Amino acid sequence: MLKDQRWHQAARRLVEFDITTDRGGAGHLTLGFGLHYCLGANLARAELQEALTVLAQRMPNLRLDGEIEWKPDGVAIWGPARLPLAFDPAS
């Protein structure tokens, strides 16, 4: 198949795409899955683990300081919209 033919077939599929089609309720895949897996996922996890360790050391007695407000369902990035924290400043 020629390159131009493949491009025209792909373009035709885009025109036919229906956003209302039920996709089976697949959940959000933050770092992807399979072919679309993020190549930097392991690096991101390692950096986050190191960052949280450093923050815990530099922010003694880190604790919640109020109510957590969660983002509504359907928002692309799941997590808190508001996370009030308090800590004792390091001397």
Give residue 69's pLDDT: 92
Q: What percent of the chain has pLDDT over 90?
A: 13
Separation of alpha carbons 12 and 9, rounded Å:
5
Name, in order, each residue with C-beta under 8 angstroms of 90's C-beta and a sequence gap of 6 or more. Answer: 58, 59, 60
Residue 80: helix, strand or coil by DSSP? strand
Q: Taking residues 22-41, what's their average pLDDT?
A: 66
Give residue 65's pLDDT: 94
Q: Which two tokens stand for residue 49?
A: 């683990």
- Of residues 29 and 5, which shows the higher confidence score? 5
- Of residues 87 and 89, which shows the higher confidence score? 87
